[in-house]
Structure 1
């Protein structure tokens, strides 16, 4: 199963911890990489966050998140672009492998228009990211989020969105929670070879207790994390594997207990 040297703690899994607490937790549990969320970075300060990571000798697998390009007014869309520029600068300072994109959606914008806004937003953002040496990782989200969170919903669609750009500039972040259901998932993962910038492990609980905060720890649901990880490996991705779990019950559990379980399940099931 998965080597702990590939494990990255996505900070969302220990939502109540600060950057320093999450970094220190990784050190205690032998986790070599971390993915940081921007609101936590802002709480701690960008320079201080980078210092915490450097002092601990951790690798930053990603910064979460940029995107949210979709908005009903031109002024709002412009502000979203400017915020993405700031996100690029934060990812650069942290020397992150990629900046994760959750591209956005709006109940006020028809889905076809929203998808065009995403394409237009990337056309503005990618040249700046290229200048800064930051890779943009498009994360397709489960179709249940298409109305309010992301109009990018399949690997195939994400590859088409990335196609105008070089394979080392714009790639995909593959999260099992969002892709496991697709009957063509293994073929699509193979098609994504050369553009896979990240892989996320978690589980789909049945019944799903909450669409946003209802993810499970690997082994508590129905996703075959190991099979999907082998497929990603076969497509040439050998980088960090983030464990990203949005779950209120988990957040209410002491962080070290969470990390004990994460390490145990990761090494046994991923």
Structure 2
């Protein structure tokens, strides 16, 4: 439990003040925050709330979406928000294809160029950009970076402390080559996240993840791989699930902890 971090999206409708109170009561001292609820509550108020409660923020999720107008300014703001919250990791979801485009190779090149433009600002703020490869089913509309190889190739163009990769079991479990590559990643692992793959997939695939242990992913194999890589940082549970979200926050947290401890 010393490494467990509760990702805010797992209890999407839990108000931030209640979330912080619930974490403290459960003796959880790490949380991953999302930009939208932080902005709604107020950046300075959010930072003070978690700091005064003794919580550390493991990541801020999410920025990226480099195909949208205004991506540069928005990502610079996200870097500043991460620094203000006291986290050194900003998770990047690259975004899908530009509207009307079929040029996925060009979109991936743009992602690499965009990250290179952001690195100086992130480095000055002490924030690592954590590229998250998403499952290939999201390539068109959400994330054109879909494999470990694509993410690490971009990250390796920069120092390890400046650009890393997010290991998310939900997005990488299908790749039969990924575990030995993770073992060799070393300092490139910026954050490690858990969510399970449940079947049959619900209609809303984006919100069809399961708590650890509820699906078919070999979580233990991922644990071994990240440990062999030398990663000793926090382990976030990040689950998006419409049915789960309808339950009270404390119940979600309790079941999340139980799932985490079971693997």
User: Is the aligned partner of 1:50 residue 2:47?
Assistant: yes
User: Is the aligned partner of 1:100 residue 2:91?
Assistant: yes
CA contact (8 A) 2:180 2:225 kept: no
Distance 2:106 2:67 in 1: 9
User: Is the aligned partner of 1:16 residue 2:16?
Assistant: no
Of the structure 1 ranges 15-24 and 51-60, higher mean CA displacement relative to structure 2 is found in 15-24
RMSD of equivalent CA atoms: 1.0
Give the number of equivalent residue pairs. 260
The C-alpha deviation readout for 1:21-66, integer Å capped at 9, x for no partner, is 2211211212120000000110100000000110110111000011
The C-alpha deviation readout for 1:98-143, integer Å capped at 9, x for no partner, is 0000011124232111111111211211111111111110011001
Identify unmatched segments of 5+ residues in structure 1. Answer: none
Question: What residue number does 1:172 align with?
Answer: 165
* Runs of 4+ displaced beyond 6 Å: none
CA contact (8 A) 1:6 1:32 kept: no
Of the structure 1 ranges 21-30 and 60-69, higher mean CA displacement relative to structure 2 is found in 21-30
TM-score computed with the length of structure 1 as normaliser: 0.94
Q: CA deviation at 1:70?
A: 1.7
Q: CA deviation at 1:267?
A: 1.2
CA contact (8 A) 1:19 1:36 kept: no
Distance 2:190 2:73 in 1: 23
SS of corresponding position for 2:247: coil
Distance 2:167 2:76 in 1: 23
TM-score computed with the length of structure 2 as normaliser: 0.96
- Aligned equivalent of 1:241, options 223, 235, 245: 235
User: Is the aligned partner of 1:194 residue 2:187?
Assistant: yes
CA contact (8 A) 2:213 2:262 kept: no
Give matches, 1:1-270, under 5 Å.
4-71=1-68, 76=69, 79-106=70-97, 107-109=99-101, 110-209=103-202, 210-269=204-263
Identify unmatched segments of 5+ residues in structure 2. Answer: none
Q: CA deviation at 1:69?
A: 0.5
Distance 2:153 2:147 in 1: 10
The C-alpha deviation readout for 1:237-268, integer Å capped at 9, x for no partner, is 11111100000100001111111111111112
